[in-house]
Structure 1
């Protein structure tokens, strides 16, 4: 194995072939025929192919020891050194309610299938009885498919069993559990580094690192107010003087554990902000038995609709029906990497769409969403700013093919 002061250096096929030809000539004489057509030349190249594959395997084995180059199971085996593990795929869970507009009491059994307008299937997780003319308490519906696919339920209706005179509503944009795909190698490396950077206490990095170690947490952002006056954020919220706000994506079902971690790592004398409109409050007891209120917020998704305009003059052979699923898959992958508060630029979407191979020239891309957290209806445009507890999520695609 070619080890140097700089680490492992893989021999290439060409280098190994040159070595083997030189060795053959040393053994059999300089006039030996080692061309591709000769018997010994063919034999040498068969061996060189095997040696080159061995070099690839040795390089992969060497790289598996380091966080920046390890992949798959090798990367998983490094995560205990940062006190974390790879996040598994999680099914989205939302609150849903039923309104009975009929004259008879209706019972909706656990496991009733519901379908969103985008074709995603959910099921209720408990029985619910709805009296005539009344609405039910909110219950949970869970996506049948794990991953981010369940994070955007709209216009939910009954799927298999139809129950007449019952209307369905999804409780706002606040998920009980945010659906997530299996954590990728790149995401895991980033969280691994965040967890190590926050190995101390009483600092922003310490809080981010400690919260990042909680299973299911996908992103953490902290906003601080070091001044003596309140800072307005959004339309209805503020950050109090000498306080901080922690915003977390994912792990909505672990709010008590998150609060405990924040309390254990926050600076003395600095309070968690309680004036944010969507803040969560948990009670944490210290070793002396004193109870403390810890406030933080879960990030909410902002469904982004992407409008793509393509002209027949520039793309005469464009197939809209074939391009639709390819574009949707590319956009889902793009928005999966969006972080809390990250601005969405329409021009950043040109590359992933062109890389699908379904189109070469796109005339225009616009993005649109309704900023519910800020209370402001955003208009279609080239740029969308998220508020401090929002992250962009793929909400739909409309393709216009102009003659």
Structure 2
């Protein structure tokens, strides 16, 4: 194994071939024919091909020992050393409002199937009774785990239509539990480093690291105000009280008590855990210390912001372009791109050219713009410190 001071360095095919040719000439003489047309030369090259594959395997084995280069199962087997495990796929849960416009009471059993416009199935997580002329809040879980359930598109009853019942989403917070695909290697490595950085206590890194180690947490950020006056944080000016910090978490919506307990165990003495103003999904939990005294711990869950991508293709550049065929390919590429979006991280249209072209549906794009429900089409989208982007739709304009 070619180990050096810089670690493992594999032999290339050319280096292995040269070594074998030199060895053959040492054994049979300098005038022996080792070209690719001779029997001996062909035999040497067959062996060298096997040796090169072995070198590839040895390099992969060596790289599997380190978090920055390990992949798949190898990365999973390293995770216990950091007190982590890869997040499994999570089914999205939507927060709904069901309205009864009829004159009689309607009962919907638990498990009632709903379907959205792209065919994704959901089911009610509890039995619902709606009085005539009133409304009830409910939760609908996606039948398929993953980010596919985060698309807040119009819902209707799937198997049996319910007359006089309409379905809408709760204002501002349509997603009660964020759906997530199985955590990717890059996202797992990023969470690993954040968790390891917070091995101590009483610091921002310690709080974020401890929260990042919890199951189903996809991202966590912390904003601190160590001054004696109220301060504004982020683009949309969330205000933090003096001597406080705000923790914003993506994912793990059903683990608020555990998150609060973790924050309490790691937070500095005399510093308040607050969410500040204008945090949509604030949570307050009461945590008992070792003496049984309860303390209020606040943090916030990041809110998803659906983003729409507008793509313009010129017919002169792409005469054979098929919008109907390209749309699902574009959607899959953008879904993958935004699956790892970070809290507070906006989007630049220029960054989307690469994933769209790599989808194989097009080679020349005339222009890209992005927009959300609250921002018009532009070259970039800015979001709040307690928000993250999720892909919603791609709109293709194919023009002369």
Work out whether the TM-score is over 0.5.
yes
Q: Equivalences for 1:4-403 in 2 at 5 Å?
A: 4-136=4-136, 138-174=137-173, 175-232=175-232, 238-277=239-278, 278=280, 279-370=282-373, 377-403=374-400
Residues 173 and 301, structure 1, Cα contact 8 Å, conserved in 2: no
Per-residue deviation, 1:220: 0.7
Higher mean C-alpha displacement, 98-107 vs 231-240:
231-240
Residues 195 and 212, structure 1, Cα contact 8 Å, conserved in 2: yes
SS in structure 1 of the partner of residue 335 of structure 2 = helix
Q: Distance in 1 between matches of 2:386 and 2:215?
A: 20
Query: Judging changes above 3 Å, is the alpha-carbon distance between structure 1 residues 35 and 96 closer, same or farther for their aligned structure 2 residues?
Result: same
SS in structure 1 of the partner of residue 119 of structure 2 = coil
Residues 156 and 170, structure 1, Cα contact 8 Å, conserved in 2: no
Q: Distance in 1 between matches of 2:344 and 2:100?
A: 39
Structure 2 residues without counterparts, runs of 5 or longer: none
Q: Distance in 2 between matches of 1:397 and 1:105?
A: 40
Q: Distance in 1 between matches of 2:129 and 2:123?
A: 16
Per-residue deviation, 1:343: 1.9
Per-residue CA shift, 1:202-260, capped at 9, x if unaligned? 11100110000001111111111222222345779521111111100000000000000
Per-residue CA shift, 1:297-344, capped at 9, x if unaligned? 000111011111112122222211121111111111111122111121
Higher mean C-alpha displacement, 235-244 vs 11-20:
235-244
SS in structure 1 of the partner of residue 254 of structure 2 = helix
Q: Distance in 2 between matches of 1:222 and 1:347?
A: 28
Residues 117 and 153, structure 1, Cα contact 8 Å, conserved in 2: no
SS in structure 2 of the partner of residue 41 of structure 1 = helix
Per-residue deviation, 1:16: 1.2
Residues 96 and 169, structure 2, Cα contact 8 Å, conserved in 1: yes
Q: Distance in 2 between matches of 1:313 and 1:35?
A: 51
Query: Judging changes above 3 Å, is the alpha-carbon distance between structure 1 residues 236 and 224 closer, same or farther for their aligned structure 2 residues?
Result: closer
How many residue pairs match? The answer is: 396
Q: Distance in 2 between matches of 1:173 and 1:93?
A: 15
Q: Distance in 2 between matches of 1:253 and 1:182?
A: 17
Per-residue deviation, 1:176: 2.4
SS in structure 2 of the partner of residue 396 of structure 1 = strand
Higher mean C-alpha displacement, 274-283 vs 242-251:
274-283
Q: Distance in 1 between matches of 2:177 and 2:324?
A: 33
Give the ranges of 4+ consecutive aligned residues of structure 1 lying more than 6 Å apart after TM superposition.
Answer: none
Per-residue deviation, 1:77: 0.9
When the two chains are superposed, the root-mean-square deviation of aligned CA atoms in Å is 1.6
Structure 1 residues without counterparts, runs of 5 or longer: 371-376
Residues 346 and 367, structure 1, Cα contact 8 Å, conserved in 2: yes
Per-residue deviation, 1:361: 2.2
SS in structure 2 of the partner of residue 218 of structure 1 = strand
Tell me the TM-score normalised to structure 2 length: 0.95
Tell me the TM-score normalised to structure 1 length: 0.94
